[in-house]
Amino acid sequence: MRPARIPALTAALILVAACSSTYKSKPQMNYYHGQNVPAGYITIVRATTAEIEFAIRVEFTQKQMYHLILDGNEPVAEGWFNTLRAGNQAYSVAMKPSEGRTFEVGKTYRLCIGMQNPEAVQMTSSNYPCIADHSFVFELKD
């Protein structure tokens, strides 16, 4: 009877090891460009090295979307934001860079808006689809 337990235990350990090795708290994702947003639909209202505020006129059916500011394929700032416009022409998103980072003047960034947190997507794929995509060169703006 013992030999039957050893393969089952070994299989369980291999499964646990495989699952734990594929999940990473900071996933390496490929952020695929989504539909480019026409000029004027996303504007920068305010920008400092510590925070950027966007006015977004794109209409989404979802009440919340995941917003990322990317430097290449690396998130600089990210989070869930409400997309309801409440009678306004745009909704507002203020994003701060992750701890220890700042936005750099003259650098090109992308605002990627998706439907899921990259950590959730990473469980099944290394490709993150941006539903809306907007590239911009960071400049200070008050």
Q: What digits encode the pLDDT tens for the residues 14-44?
A: 444 444 444 445 557 889 887 788 889 999 9
Q: In terms of Cα–Cα distance, which of 130, 128, 96 is closest to 114?
A: 130
Give me the chain's average pLDDT, please: 84
pLDDT tier for residue 5 given thresholds of 50, 70 and 90: low
Could you tell me where the DSSP H helices lie in 23-140?
A: 118-121
Domains and CATH numbers, the chain: 27-137 (2.60.40)
Structure tokens at 136: 């911009």
3 state DSSP class of 118: helix
Average pLDDT, integer, range 126-130: 91
Degrees to nearest 5, angle at CA 67 with 62 and 68: 155
Phi, psi of 28 (to 5 degrees): -85, 105
Only one residue has tokens 């990210």, namely 78
Q: What is the pLDDT of residue 26?
A: 55
**∠125-129-130 over CA atoms, to 5°?**
150
Please state the rounded mean pLDDT for residues 54-83: 95
pLDDT for position 126: 87
